[in-house]
Amino acid sequence: MSEKLEQLKERLAEVADISNATSVLDWDQQVNMPPAGNEARGQQLATLSKIAQEKFISDEVGRLIDDLQQEYDGADTDEAALVHVAARNYDKAKRVPPSFIAEQAIVTSRAFEAWMEARGKSDFSIFQPHLEKVLELVHKYISFFPPADHPYDTLLDDYERGMKTADVKAIFDGLRPKQVQLIKAINSAKQVKADFLYKKYNEKKLMDFGVEVITKFGYDWQRGRQDKAPHPFETSFSINDVRITTRYEADNPLATLFSTMHEAGHAMYEQGIHPAYERTPLSGGASLAVHESQSRMWENLVGRSLPFWEHFYPRIKKAFASQLDGVSLKSFYKAINKVEPSLIRVNADEATYNMHIMLRLELEIGMVEGKIAIKDLPEVWNAKMEEYLGVTPPNDAKGVLQDIHWSGGAIGYFSTYALGNLISVQLWEKITGDIRNLDDQIRMGDFSELLAWLRRNIHQHGQKYEPQQLVEKVTGSKITPEPYVRYLKKKYSEIYGL
């Protein structure tokens, strides 16, 4: 390895250490921190972020990257990928002045508070002026970058590198009519019974069951832990310290279980990244969408499948004998896959989830293009909900105010959720081709070959490949909606007898 690469890696390792330390502080804030610790923690996080940024965009790092880019140009090695990703991140970081970051921190911190209040009072007008400021900043942010095909491209690229607005639109255009059609067909079919899912389920037993499941999946407890937190999330400070959180929702107890599988999916991805990428820009997942493909795969393609429950149903039935008394495996399976157009994205089922995302993408593009005024968002939101899902939010809290993302300036993020769903099935078609008896293995509670496949084809590569490149390398095609449509049709035709 060249001496310059060694030097660059050393500097980037330092930046990675600071950024991982920041993640520890953030995890602690969400999991442990006593209430009064908030202000000091904010200062600590701000200081660490500032130092990481300064260290990263130093002239020395810039010079090293410049020199190394020439040296490694075009090579298909880890080293070349490292230099390439570092160069890309450096260019992005360098374009955004520290004064903008400071301004953004203030604006989004106030916008977050306003959003909390607005949601609590279900009054969009409280949030509106703050979202307008956020949008101004978004435009300012876009202005730091060279003009793209579409201004939204610049935003999207931060969450899904290499992805274009036109690509996402084309994918969603292929998906939307088919998914709307399917939802209508399901709505007209005989509905499935799911009331037994909403009885009282003992929290500890549910948590224990979740732990049993993800242990079988292959989540490595020597390199992770699970805690309770207000929101389920996954975070990592190293490939050897990848943590997840969970929560108990009294009005939807089984959600605990599926969100545990979801977060474990994210976590197993992080645990599977090549050890050589530790403390380099190649650590972490390829993109938010690829990350989401992993969480969704374990949550839905595995965790909401019939073979999975053929293995686990006797166990959950033993743990919750009275709640599931008289409920057959088939009825349980149907219940956990019940389709019901609903108001809240995070609670949406597989058949309707993407519609929530498409709605948000259209609104975001409309905002960025200036074609939708912030003040009109609630109205547009409600109209689209009616159009796509046949439901209208009774108030803004259950409509336009439900998500945290915009308050933090995260415009461009949402579509990665839907893309993750699509990728998960696109990969699944390949996997079930490669592992012909996967269903049988799952029926036996054996997930080792599946995890090994994911490790080999996805996890180990970290950020080496761009998301579209990775998906194409593994499945032979870029992200495409057809596998997902096929999957939904097959699954729900069986469940609803379409």
Under rule CB under 8 A, residue 76 binds its own copies: no
Name which of 24 and 142 has its Cβ closer to its own copies: 24
Under rule CB under 8 A, residue 32 binds its own copies: yes
- Whole-number minimum distance, CB 17 to its own copies, in Å? 4
| Token pair in block for residue 420 | 């993750």
Under rule CB under 8 A, residue 125 binds its own copies: no
> Contact with its own copies (CB under 8 A): which of 8, 12, 18, 324?
18
Under rule CB under 8 A, residue 326 binds its own copies: no
Phi, psi of 242 (to 5 degrees): -120, 110
Name which of 14 and 212 has its Cβ closer to its own copies: 14
- Whole-number minimum distance, CB 211 to its own copies, in Å? 14
Q: CA-to-CA distance for 354 and 352, rounded, in angstroms?
A: 6
> Contact with its own copies (CB under 8 A): which of 37, 97, 177, 390?
37
Under rule CB under 8 A, residue 51 binds its own copies: yes
Name which of 24 and 93 has its Cβ closer to its own copies: 24
CA R_g for the chain: 23
Q: Which of 158, 201, 221, 179 is nearest to 415 (CA)?
A: 158
Under rule CB under 8 A, residue 21 binds its own copies: yes
* Orientation of helix 288-296 relative to helix 415-434, angle to 10°: 60
The DSSP string of 125-151 is HHHHHHHHHHHHHHHHHHHTS---SSH
356, 348 contact by CB (below 8 A): yes
Q: Hey, what amino acid is at 400?
A: V
> Contact with its own copies (CB under 8 A): which of 193, 199, 225, 486?
225
Name which of 43 and 448 has its Cβ closer to its own copies: 43
Q: Between 268 and 297, how does the x/- string for binding to its own copies read (CB under 8 A)?
A: ----------xx------------------
- Whole-number minimum distance, CB 275 to its own copies, in Å? 10
> Contact with its own copies (CB under 8 A): which of 4, 5, 7, 33?
33
Contact segment (CB under 8 A) with its own copies among 21-29, 129-137, 381-389, 414-422 equals 21-29
Touching its own copies, residues 389-418 (CB under 8 A):
none
Q: Which of 245, 246, 296 is nearest to 269 (CA)?
A: 296
> Contact with its own copies (CB under 8 A): which of 7, 30, 44, 53?
44
- Whole-number minimum distance, CB 243 to its own copies, in Å? 8
> Contact with its own copies (CB under 8 A): which of 5, 7, 41, 148?
41
Q: Which of 146, 404, 168 is nearest to 287 (CA)?
A: 168
Under rule CB under 8 A, residue 39 binds its own copies: yes
| Token pair in block for residue 381 | 């939101």
Q: CA-to-CA distance for 308 and 215, rounded, in angstroms?
A: 14
Question: In the sheet where 234-238 sits, what is the strand order?
Answer: 226-228, 241-246, 234-238
Known catalytic membership, residue 340:
no
> Contact with its own copies (CB under 8 A): which of 8, 20, 254, 290?
20
Encode 485-498 in three state secondary structure: HHHHHHHHHHHHCC
Encode 396-422 in three state secondary structure: CCCCCCCCCHHHHCCCCCCHHHHHHHH
- Whole-number minimum distance, CB 220 to its own copies, in Å? 8
Touching its own copies, residues 235-264 (CB under 8 A):
237-238, 240-241, 243
Q: Which of 468, 463, 470, 438 is nearest to 453 (CA)?
A: 438
- Parallel, antiparallel, or unpaired: how do β-strands 241-246 and 226-228 relate? parallel
Task: Name residue, tokens 């804030």.
Answer: 29
Q: Active site residue: 79, 160, 234, 263, which one?
A: 263
Q: Where along the sequence are the contacts to its own copies (CB under 8 A)?
A: 13-14, 17-18, 20-21, 24-25, 28, 32-41, 43-44, 46-48, 51, 220-225, 227, 237-238, 240-241, 243, 278-279
